[in-house]
Amino acid sequence: MADLQALRADIEGIRIEDNEKIVQQKSRDFYWYSPVLKERLEAVTGDLVVSPKTEAELIRVLKACYRHGVPVTPRGTGTGNYGQAMPLSGGVVLSLADMNEIREIAPGRAVVGPGVICSDLDKAARFESGQEMRMHPSTAHTATVGGFIAGGSGGVGSTRWGGLRDFGNVIRLRVVTMEEEPRALELTGEDLHKVTHAYGTNGIITEVELPLTAAYDWVDVIVAFDDFMEAATYANALGRQDGILLKLNTVVAAPAPFDYFKRHQKFLKEGENTVICMVAPQSLDAFLAFTRREGGRIAFNRSELAEEDLRGLPVAYELAWNHTTLRGLRVDPAITYLQVLYPFPDQLALVSKLHEMFEGEVIDHLEFVRFDGDITCFGLPMVRYSTEERLDEIIETFNREGAPIFNPHRYTLEEGGMKQTDEIQLAFKREADPRGLLNPGKMIAWENPDYDFDSGAVWLFKGLQKAG
Ligand code: FAD
């Protein structure tokens, strides 16, 4: 048992929260999104929440935790939905939310503290220089930039710019190690892959330099189709129109739009499939002409509506990415979701085949994105959940058909990702966190180097085995 009293003495002057209820609340994220994770992680809680305001304070915290052998789980604002920010071994929940300084906004780039909220950066960049982030999660209003890079993957803007891990979408990260004498490292280029989407298991991001792009007054448009594959084919073709500038290109299958997008219901018809877009104003005429040619019905065009029609309506991106499932869950708590890649160039054939196989049980949701220079789609299909076994069967079928699933019902990097060791992240963990104190239980390769990813079993962290 670590000596928390001694730890507290060592970090005196830095904000600590030990109220049991608040600590438990700050030990949680959106893990409950998954019925599987909800059951497994319900009892997880840290011992203390520590909130440094500067890198110097953060280094003091890490140094003290290292000395006393206390696990440290970093946290932005806890909007991750795989339990990434949950302290499986207890210890310190390290809140980065107070390191929220916007340090520089320059042509094409910004430098910020990890705790800056994505939409705050967008607001400041737009105000100062007419720019915005290339991409942000649909949780932009609550999520931090550091949490997005450490725990997210892409989102609104990925239809133009690809994912966060693609070259050029992060410029530089400053990362502090968990050693006797913590070091602050500047990572660029290939080295960024050591810590992007590593769930904070191998270093704490203390500064982010990221690219900015021109900001526009994006126009939200919803296009409706009677047939799901017509909607998917239209979105695929729209994504390939290089002259039309989009920030979002999302397909949601019936019955979800009418049934789940309650505030937009008056614009939609029952049984319609929708394509939800954010269109640059200078592209709107071309977009409407293209849509007319493809036979889509313009169900909603924000630019044509009066102020009173728009009151209370969420922005388009809050119907997309993981928000689609969130809206579904509010209406039908029995649904859950999966994450799929439909690889180029067979994406439409795969979408069609799997759509037919699971009609009635899986409600399709596609996000068209640029992926290695091609347009293809990710899926975040909603699933009418019955049992964990049935969910696994569905996952198996998708994998077998060539549409790999990134399982959102697992809390480890590997099981939620490529189901293999990421040697680069593992090697960096050996160097940067030799005692294995950062976010324990999230990297299987560290906890159990011989683990057989082909075994078909679900990996269970030993800390949780004890708790359970
Ligand atoms: P947290 O959840 O607090 O942390 C995320 C991970 O990063 C954790 O492992 C944490 O330990 C680690 N971490 C946090 N800060 C640091 C740091 N400074 N250094 C090292 N590690 C750190 N994700 C997307 O990618 N795209 C989406 O469009 C998207 N939409 C979402 C919609 C909904 C409704 C929900 C619930 C989630 C969505 N997410 C999405 C997931 C999540 O909201 C984003 O990834 C978000 O950017 C995470 O930011 P956060 O501040 O909440 O991070």
pLDDT category at 466 given cuts 50, 70, 90 is low
Last residue of some domain: 95, 127, 148? 95
What whole-number distance in Å separates Cα of residue 450 and Cα of residue 438? 20
91 CB less than 6 Å from ligand 1?
A: no
298: CATH: 3.40.462.40
Last residue of some domain: 400, 427, 451? 400
386 in the same domain as 258: yes
CA of 139 to the centre of ligand 1 (A): 9
- Contacts for 118 with CB less than 8 Å, ≥ 6 apart: 133, 136, 137, 139, 140, 141, 143, 144, 145, 148
351 in the same domain as 255: yes
User: Is 405 part of any domain?
Assistant: no
User: With 80 as the cut, is the pLDDT of residue 49 above it?
Assistant: yes
Q: Phi then psi for 246, rounded to 5 degrees?
A: -120, 155
CA of 404 to the centre of ligand 1 (A): 22
Q: Whose CA is nearest to atom 33 of ligand 1?
A: 322
114 CB less than 6 Å from ligand 1?
A: yes
**pLDDT tens-digit series, residues 365-395:** 999 999 989 999 999 999 999 998 999 999 9
171 in the same domain as 238: no
* Rg from Cα positions in the chain: 22
The identity of residue 456, as a single letter, is: G
203 in the same domain as 90: no
**In DSSP terms, which residues pair with 184 in a beta bridge?**
176
* 235: Cα within 13 Å, side-chain hemisphere: 37
326 CB less than 6 Å from ligand 1?
A: yes
pLDDT category at 467 given cuts 50, 70, 90 is very low
pLDDT category at 459 given cuts 50, 70, 90 is confident
Cis before 255? omega within 30: yes
User: Is 423 part of any domain?
Assistant: no
**pLDDT tens-digit series, residues 131-143:** 999 999 999 999 9
358 in the same domain as 247: yes
239 CB less than 6 Å from ligand 1?
A: no
User: Is 322 part of any domain?
Assistant: yes
Q: Can you tell me whether residue 337 is helix, strand or coil?
A: strand
What whole-number distance in Å separates Cα of residue 249 and Cα of residue 97? 31
Phi-psi region of 312 (alpha: psi -120 to 50; beta: other; left: phi over 0): left
For the CA of 153, the closest atom of ligand 1 is 25
Last residue of some domain: 169, 194, 215? 215
Q: Can you tell me whether residue 157 is helix, strand or coil?
A: coil
Q: What is the mean pLDDT of residues 284-302?
A: 98
Phi-psi region of 202 (alpha: psi -120 to 50; beta: other; left: phi over 0): alpha
113 CB less than 6 Å from ligand 1?
A: no
What whole-number distance in Å separates Cα of residue 319 and Cα of residue 302? 14
User: Is 412 part of any domain?
Assistant: no
pLDDT attached to residue 1: 62
- Contacts for 199 with CB less than 8 Å, ≥ 6 apart: 84, 85, 150, 151, 413, 439, 442, 443
**pLDDT tens-digit series, residues 115-129:** 999 999 999 999 999
393 in the same domain as 246: yes
Question: Which tokens is 110 given?
Answer: 């910004």
174: CATH: 3.30.465.10
Question: Is residue 205 packed enough to be buried (19+ CB in 10 Å), middle (13-18) or exposed (0-12)?
Answer: buried
pLDDT attached to residue 453: 86
CA of 225 to the centre of ligand 1 (A): 33
438 CB less than 6 Å from ligand 1?
A: no
Q: Can you tell me whether residue 278 is helix, strand or coil?
A: strand
**pLDDT tens-digit series, residues 426-448:** 999 999 999 999 999 999 999 99
118 in the same domain as 69: no
150 in the same domain as 184: yes
35 in the same domain as 182: no
Contact 69, 10 (CB under 8 A): no
Residue 269: Cβ within 10 Å count: 13
Contact 236, 366 (CB under 8 A): no
> DSSP letters of 244-259?
S-EEEEEEE-TTHHHH
User: Is 464 part of any domain?
Assistant: no
If one residue of 81, 136, 178, 410 were mutated to test the ligand 1 pocket, choosing by the most ligand atoms within 8 A of its CB, it would be 81
253 in the same domain as 383: yes
Q: Phi then psi for 388, rounded to 5 degrees?
A: -65, -35
30: CATH: 3.30.43.10
Instruction: Quote the number of domains for the chain.
Output: 3
pLDDT attached to residue 234: 98
pLDDT attached to residue 126: 98
CA of 147 to the centre of ligand 1 (A): 4
pLDDT attached to residue 286: 98
First-last CA distance in the chain: 18
Q: Whose CA is nearest to atom 15 of ligand 1?
A: 147
Q: Whose CA is nearest to atom 38 of ligand 1?
A: 322
Write down the pTM of the prediction: 0.97
pLDDT category at 465 given cuts 50, 70, 90 is low
**pLDDT tens-digit series, residues 296-306:** 999 999 999 99
pLDDT category at 160 given cuts 50, 70, 90 is very high
29 CB less than 6 Å from ligand 1?
A: yes
| Domain interval for residue 267 | 219-400
If one residue of 51, 100, 139 were mutated to test the ligand 1 pocket, choosing by the most ligand atoms within 8 A of its CB, it would be 139
User: Is 320 part of any domain?
Assistant: yes
CA of 144 to the centre of ligand 1 (A): 7
Which of 36-40, 83-87, 90-94, 415-419 is predicted with the least confidence, judged by mean pLDDT? 415-419
365 in the same domain as 265: yes
**pLDDT tens-digit series, residues 61-112:** 999 999 999 999 999 999 999 999 999 999 999 999 999 999 999 999 999 9
What whole-number distance in Å separates Cα of residue 176 and Cα of residue 184? 4
169 CB less than 6 Å from ligand 1?
A: no
pLDDT attached to residue 468: 39
User: Is 159 part of any domain?
Assistant: yes
What whole-number distance in Å separates Cα of residue 344 and Cα of residue 13? 54
261 in the same domain as 112: no
**pLDDT tens-digit series, residues 303-343:** 999 999 999 999 999 999 999 999 999 999 999 999 999 99
76 CB less than 6 Å from ligand 1?
A: yes
For the CA of 148, the closest atom of ligand 1 is 47
User: Is 451 part of any domain?
Assistant: no
pLDDT category at 3 given cuts 50, 70, 90 is confident
For the CA of 164, the closest atom of ligand 1 is 25
Tokens 């509506």 — which residue? Answer: 305
